[in-house]
Amino acid sequence: MSKLKALTHRKLFLPIVSMILVMLINVIYDTATGSAPFSFFYITVKNGVLYGRLIDVLNRGSEIAILAIGMTIVVSASAGTDISVGSVMALYSAVCCVTLAGFGVTNTSTYARPLIVGILLGILVCVLCGAINGFFVAYLNIQPMVATLILWSAGRAIGLLLCNSQYVYIRVPSFRVIGGYIGFLPTPILVVAICITVMTLFLKFTALGTYVQSVGINKKAARIAGFNSARIIFLAYVICGLCAGLAGMVATSRIYSADTNNIGLNMELDAILSVALGGNSLAGGKFSLAGSLIGAYTIQAITTTMYALGVDPAQAPVFKAVVVLIIVVIQAQPVKDFFAARAARKAVKEAA
């Protein structure tokens, strides 16, 4: 019994249980409709590439997973959220595609400049956006939501201005690789794996993780202890901007065009939910990167499940919101405290 209690108190317990529940719904539905009970987990090679609902979740959830990495650091350090990441993704799309196609060109089958130039310039702009947000929050002490609201509205508008409110298509095979496939493997899955590995190693072999959590728990105490709180918060937003750029890179390559109206639209909400579903406190402090990633893929699994159940795409957000609400309520600290107190009273009665 003590082992079970210790297991339920682990930080990743509820995020993993939430993911398992979503998968269980798929198993029940497949069984009820006469399909193979575990078809959700079936992975096959179709037309030379990996195919299956699980692969679809990992592939389509890549952008959310990358954003969740940066959002986790921001939430932990500043006890606030960056609501501009979706617009920054769209801005990356505009900068990259306009650079590669040439200003005023909306459809091209050749590069006006090397691919690497477009990618690096787009990411540089996104890092600059993160630096602007970080400066407002860290050095001007503006509320994170208010500070990032500026780029939330301006980022997408600047992208539309660069593209002259039109789609900019890059019809070059090499441009589609990042959002497509390398051999049989979806490239976005590989991009996420690289991002996770790099961030994990960075947090392990540097003191950044400790600094971020210390500042998030108590900024004044961290400053007294010798930490440069403003610089750490600033760096957190720069990392978040970088992650938004990488997510924009995947999304842009996936559709081989700059669709500044739709790329990253409302994705900041999914990124914030990923952090919450991962068991992280939105009040800052200690964080679990693994929990956020599980949360990101749980959200994508819910979306994929809704489509598999035949839910209309226009209605899917409603069902998704209900499921997410239930999961968030289950993970809420007052709910945990209620059941813990109830278990304690039961133990006292049994002992008596």
> Does residue 1 register a pLDDT over 60?
no
Residue 246 lies in a domain: yes
| Cβ atoms of residues 49 and 181 within 8 Å | yes
Region 72-77 average pLDDT: 95
Residues whose CB is less than 8 angstroms from the CB of residue 319 and which lie 6 or more positions away in sequence, other chains included: 306, 311
> Does residue 316 register a pLDDT over 80?
no
Looking at residue 12, the DSSP 8-state letter turns out to be: T
- What ranges make up the beta strands (E) of the chain? 44-46, 49-51, 107-108, 168-170, 181-182, 185-186, 257-258
Residue 42 lies in a domain: no
Residue 252 lies in a domain: yes
Q: pLDDT tens, 148-180?
A: 999 999 999 999 999 998 999 999 999 999 999
| Cβ atoms of residues 30 and 308 within 8 Å | no
Please give the pLDDT value at position 336: 73
Q: How confident is the model at residue 64 (pLDDT cuts 50, 70, 90)?
A: very high
Residue 192 lies in a domain: yes
> Does residue 327 register a pLDDT over 70?
no
Looking at residue 110, the DSSP 8-state letter turns out to be: S
Assigned token pair, 278:
């991962």
Please give the pLDDT value at position 267: 92
Assigned token pair, 162:
């660069």
> Does residue 320 register a pLDDT over 80?
no
DSSP string covering 255-286, please?
Answer: HTEE-TTTTTTTHHHHHHHHHHHTT--TT-S-
Quote the CA–CA distance of 44 and 281 in Å, as a whole number. Answer: 38
Residue 19 lies in a domain: yes
| Cβ atoms of residues 232 and 57 within 8 Å | no
- Percentage of residues of the chain with pLDDT beyond 70: 95
CATH no. for residue 198? 1.10.3470
> Does residue 191 register a pLDDT over 80?
yes
In the chain, the number of structural domains is 1
- In terms of residue numbers, what domain contains 63? 2-35+48-351
- Of 316 and 165, which is predicted with more confidence? 165
Residue 327 lies in a domain: yes
Residue 40 lies in a domain: no
Q: How confident is the model at residue 20 (pLDDT cuts 50, 70, 90)?
A: confident
Mean of per-residue pLDDT scores for the chain: 89
Q: pLDDT tens, 40-56?
A: 889 999 888 999 889 99
Residue 16 lies in a domain: yes
Residue 124 three-state SS: helix
Quote the CA–CA distance of 310 and 320 in Å, as a whole number. Answer: 13
